[in-house]
């Protein structure tokens, strides 16, 4: 009930416990009062949970610079579970919307490098047919989206090898992620339509010379339509 918004704000004033402000902001967002929600950001943010929450509030309110600032100042010493990955992913999105795609990609690279042991553990546990399906909801909701953004960046950069390797990893580790499957299918069709190497390329190969095209052809095999399906 939105009538509780001022009650929650008063509760924060007397207790300084920020969960009251989060409750109030959630009610504001629920009714579409974005400007009212951002007025509830506390003067000091001291937990990772608060950093992520208010970063999302700013983001959904279209205030991407403010969102980035809150996320960048998130505490690093606190044990905050999956918050680091979620914070880094949102930072990357903020950078992208603000027009700094290179910084966005660097942020994704840092995120994936730090999360790599968790991703490998997740993958290993789910590959064992004798074990029940393991689902880390925080990981499964963040990492596939980061990987698909990686795929997009590689595609726009003309980096076919990275695009292929990232797609393979994405569908292997997160086979339930539909955008990943769709992107892999499209990539497979593109490789299947790739023309065979002409006589000139074959002669270049015989001479022991490698070109960008031959390197890509060696690293990125044609993917059969059956496999894509």
pLDDT tens, per residue, the chain with 229 residues: 888 999 999 999 999 999 999 999 999 999 999 999 999 999 988 888 899 999 999 999 999 999 999 999 887 655 555 678 889 999 999 999 999 999 999 999 989 988 888 888 888 877 776 665 655 677 778 899 999 999 999 999 988 889 999 999 999 999 889 999 999 999 888 887 776 766 776 777 777 776 676 667 666 777 777 887 8
- The pTM is what? 0.78
Q: Vertex 4, ends 25 and 13: CA angle to 5°?
A: 70
Burial class (CB in 10 A: 0-12, 13-18, 19+), 136: middle
Question: Which has the closest alpha carbon to 64: 109, 32, 104, 31?
Answer: 104
Which token pair is 159? 């980096």
As a whole number of angstroms, the distance between CA 201 and CA 142 comes to 42
């Amino acid at each position: 009930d939105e009538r509780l918004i001022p009650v929650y704000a008063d509760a924060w004033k007397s207790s300084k416990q920020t969960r009251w402000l989060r409750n109030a902001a959630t009610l504001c967002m629920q009714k579409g009062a974005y400007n009212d929600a951002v007025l509830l950001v506390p003067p000091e943010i001291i937990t990772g949970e608060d950093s992520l929450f208010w970063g999302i509030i700013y983001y959904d309110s279209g205030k991407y610079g403010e969102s980035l600032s809150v996320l960048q100042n998130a505490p690093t010493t606190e044990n905050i579970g999956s918050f680091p990955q979620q914070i880094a992913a949102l930072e990357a999105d903020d950078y992208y919307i603000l027009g700094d795609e290179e910084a966005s990609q660097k942020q994704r690279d840092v995120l994936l490098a730090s999360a790599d042991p968790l991703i490998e553990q997740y993958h290993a546990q789910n590959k064992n047919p004798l074990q029940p399906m393991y689902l880390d909801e925080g990981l499964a909701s963040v990492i596939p989206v980061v990987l698909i953004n990686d795929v997009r960046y590689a595609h726009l950069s003309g980096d076919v090898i990275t695009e292929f390797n990232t797609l393979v990893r994405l569908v292997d580790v997160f086979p339930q992620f539909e955008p990943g499957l769709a992107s892999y299918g499209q990539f497979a069709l593109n490789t299947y339509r790739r023309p065979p190497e002409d006589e000139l390329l074959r002669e270049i190969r015989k001479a022991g010379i490698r070109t960008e095209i031959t390197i890509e052809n060696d690293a990125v095999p044609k993917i059969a339509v059956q496999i894509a399906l």
